[in-house]
Chains A and B, each alone.
Chain A
């Protein structure tokens, strides 16, 4: 969005007057999105989930997240605890609201870091090509074969005063690679285009060409990667928390709630503890992925022109 705005201003000022622009990446994507009823529905549901978890968190009292053994193992629909409580007496509904918010925040933060890192490296690697590209690609290939899940889990146990922020950095450490590779392939295609040649000939610096000209041209790819990245990273965080090595125990996550299903008693006779978190995670994942595929379709259509 931001990049497109900059692009538009450039054209206006350089041409001296506002000209009718070919539809920008974002506009086209938005048009495609509005044509798809299910995509609109998905976005509405996602907004509702965001409101539910973010506004809801404000109303969750601190006591309901505290351990209170006297109220432990209450069934669903009991007074004051709509979804019951866990062994320690924590209110499941409160855990769901706060956990949902935490998972979303982590998903978005990891995506932000890895996309920025991936973009910078993808741009440099694709734009310069040659040895620079070779070096970056070797490094990326190497990181991608590492057993990342296991390494992250081990690091969470080694790092002292481990917290949510460390987790974000740890996941980002591995997830920027696929973004970098993805963007690089588009930049490689862009660098042979006339506008890059023209800009080079007119003496623009490499940095200016990369960030002010190539970047806006791959904006729709960025949107796709952001959308699908958020879904993927929420999946990674909840997966780690599910195993007990994601967010620290004091910070609830959807994964921690689903992790209650690792106990045979909970999975069988207390589904209200973990099933709502499963449902929320599934809705988030499916809706985000659907919006992502619509964006992808729009971008494909744009390239076909």
Chain B
């Protein structure tokens, strides 16, 4: 098992290196340099040229790249052009907000998907399965941002059930309990919609898994030994069908991160996705570079976690 995991980790390293090179050159293509945020208009042209020389902007590209990587490891992602603060501290708070939104979304998504998958698999082609199939079709084919806009309009503006922007109300009553409750109130609508439209794959995998496992030899053996049907289902069929889903978590995380830009824009939720949109409209390129790098690395690590989970829960993979 360790060999498989080690090999998988080794594959990740070139991926991250290539990602960083790509992003570095993307950053080079962007207008502006590290002083754009610091320079005051009265500054002399020669001083700027000197600063550029000192900071190595005239060095060969690969020297600049290595310096950039060195700074990355020190947690130095540069200065924001517009906010006059370091990119690291700017992203810090926002990352927290995105983390909570994503966590609630993942939990809700599985809370819906697993029971639906089980029901659909058990009652294959009967009305519960058909109902779930229609539900899946509806949630799968809707473009994410349309779902968010419609939910915000209906439940936020027309029915007034949920707040329409931010993570916490200005008028929140004092006390930690009230604070948490208010934050939950802000998170629940975006998380619920994102969860509902992300169930499709999990439901389908679980459904097919249950249907396929039902005719496997070990299930037949268990039945013929007289194992109660409930135990056969829970222990043999369900457990084996849940395997691919645990491995799918990395893709779910990746999809969530990809959707963060959309969901946070529509719900004016101040996470990393919203920060990205704010930075792009102000052309704040150091922040943008840092954000893509973070999202890219998170996606690569997410894939890695998927594969590792898979090798742990499913010994058959290790053999290969």
| Assembled-state Cα–Cα distance A290/B277 (Å) | 33
* CB-CB nearest in chain A for B285: A154
Residues of chain A lying within 8 A (CB to CB) of residue B292:
147, 150-151, 154
Residues of A131-152 at the interface with B, using a CB-CB cut-off of 8 Å, are: 141-142, 145-151
B135 CB within 8 Å of chain A = no
| Assembled-state Cα–Cα distance A224/B296 (Å) | 30
Contact A278 B15, beta carbon cutoff 8 Å = no
Q: Number of B interface residues, CB 8 Å? A: 43
| Assembled-state Cα–Cα distance A238/B283 (Å) | 22
A267 CB within 8 Å of chain B = yes
On whether A245 and B153 interact (CB within 8 A), knowing A147-B292, A262-B265, the answer reads no
| Assembled-state Cα–Cα distance A147/B277 (Å) | 14
Among B41-49, B86-94, B239-247, B256-264, the stretch in contact with A? B256-264
* CB-CB nearest in chain B for A267: B153
* CB-CB nearest in chain A for B144: A239
On whether A154 and B137 interact (CB within 8 A), knowing A147-B257, A147-B295, A281-B143, the answer reads no
* CB-CB nearest in chain A for B165: A264
On whether A157 and B283 interact (CB within 8 A), knowing A145-B299, A147-B292, the answer reads yes
A268 CB within 8 Å of chain B = yes
CB distance from A99 to the nearest CB of B (A): 14
CB distance from B28 to the nearest CB of A (A): 10
Contact A151 B26, beta carbon cutoff 8 Å = yes
On whether A142 and B18 interact (CB within 8 A), knowing A154-B30, A239-B262, A281-B146, the answer reads yes
CB distance from A52 to the nearest CB of B (A): 20
Residues of chain A lying within 8 A (CB to CB) of residue B280:
153-154, 157, 245
CB distance from A274 to the nearest CB of B (A): 8
Contact of A289 (CB < 8 Å), options: B19, B29, B140, B258: B140
* CB-CB nearest in chain B for A148: B258
| Assembled-state Cα–Cα distance A243/B258 (Å) | 14
| Assembled-state Cα–Cα distance A242/B265 (Å) | 10
Residues of B21-60 at the interface with A, using a CB-CB cut-off of 8 Å, are: 22, 26, 29-31
* CB-CB nearest in chain B for A245: B280
Contact B145 A242, beta carbon cutoff 8 Å = yes
Residues of A266-305 at the interface with B, using a CB-CB cut-off of 8 Å, are: 267-268, 271, 274, 278, 281-282, 285-286, 289-290, 293
Contact B149 A261, beta carbon cutoff 8 Å = yes
Contact of A147 (CB < 8 Å), options: B140, B296, B303: B296
Residues of chain B lying within 8 A (CB to CB) of residue A261:
149, 152-153
Residues of chain B lying within 8 A (CB to CB) of residue A154:
26, 30, 280, 288, 292
Contact A258 B141, beta carbon cutoff 8 Å = no
A158 CB within 8 Å of chain B = yes
Contact of B300 (CB < 8 Å), options: A145, A238, A282, A286: A145
Residues of chain A lying within 8 A (CB to CB) of residue B303:
145
Residues of chain A lying within 8 A (CB to CB) of residue B19:
142, 146
Q: How many A residues touch the partner, as a band?
A: 35 or more
Contact B277 A146, beta carbon cutoff 8 Å = no
Contact B137 A293, beta carbon cutoff 8 Å = yes
Residues of chain B lying within 8 A (CB to CB) of residue A157:
280, 283
Query: Would you call the interface of chain A mostly helix, strand, loop, or mixed?
Result: helix
Residues of A190-220 at the interface with B, using a CB-CB cut-off of 8 Å, are: none
* CB-CB nearest in chain B for A158: B29
| Assembled-state Cα–Cα distance A286/B265 (Å) | 24
Residues of chain B lying within 8 A (CB to CB) of residue A141:
15
B248 CB within 8 Å of chain A = no
CB distance from B78 to the nearest CB of A (A): 16
Residues of chain B lying within 8 A (CB to CB) of residue A150:
261, 276, 288, 291-292, 295
Residues of chain A lying within 8 A (CB to CB) of residue B30:
154, 158
* CB-CB nearest in chain B for A271: B153
| Assembled-state Cα–Cα distance A244/B145 (Å) | 13
Contact of B150 (CB < 8 Å), options: A264, A278, A285: A278
CB distance from A103 to the nearest CB of B (A): 11
Contact B153 A290, beta carbon cutoff 8 Å = no
Residues of chain B lying within 8 A (CB to CB) of residue A122:
none
| Assembled-state Cα–Cα distance A52/B258 (Å) | 33
Residues of chain B lying within 8 A (CB to CB) of residue A252:
none
| Assembled-state Cα–Cα distance A245/B277 (Å) | 10
What are 19 A-B residue pairs whose CB atoms fall within 8 Å in the complex?
A141-B15, A142-B18, A145-B254, A146-B19, A147-B296, A149-B258, A149-B262, A150-B288, A150-B291, A158-B31, A239-B143, A243-B265, A262-B266, A271-B153, A278-B149, A281-B143, A281-B146, A285-B143, A290-B141
Interface residues of A (CB under 8 A from B): 141-142, 145-151, 153-155, 157-158, 231, 235, 238-239, 242-245, 258, 261-262, 264, 267-268, 271, 274, 278, 281-282, 285-286, 289-290, 293
Other A-B contacts than A149-B261, A150-B295, A267-B153, 18 sampled, CB-CB below 8 A, are A141-B15, A142-B19, A147-B295, A151-B26, A231-B141, A235-B144, A238-B145, A239-B144, A239-B262, A242-B145, A243-B261, A258-B146, A261-B152, A261-B153, A262-B266, A281-B146, A289-B140, A289-B141
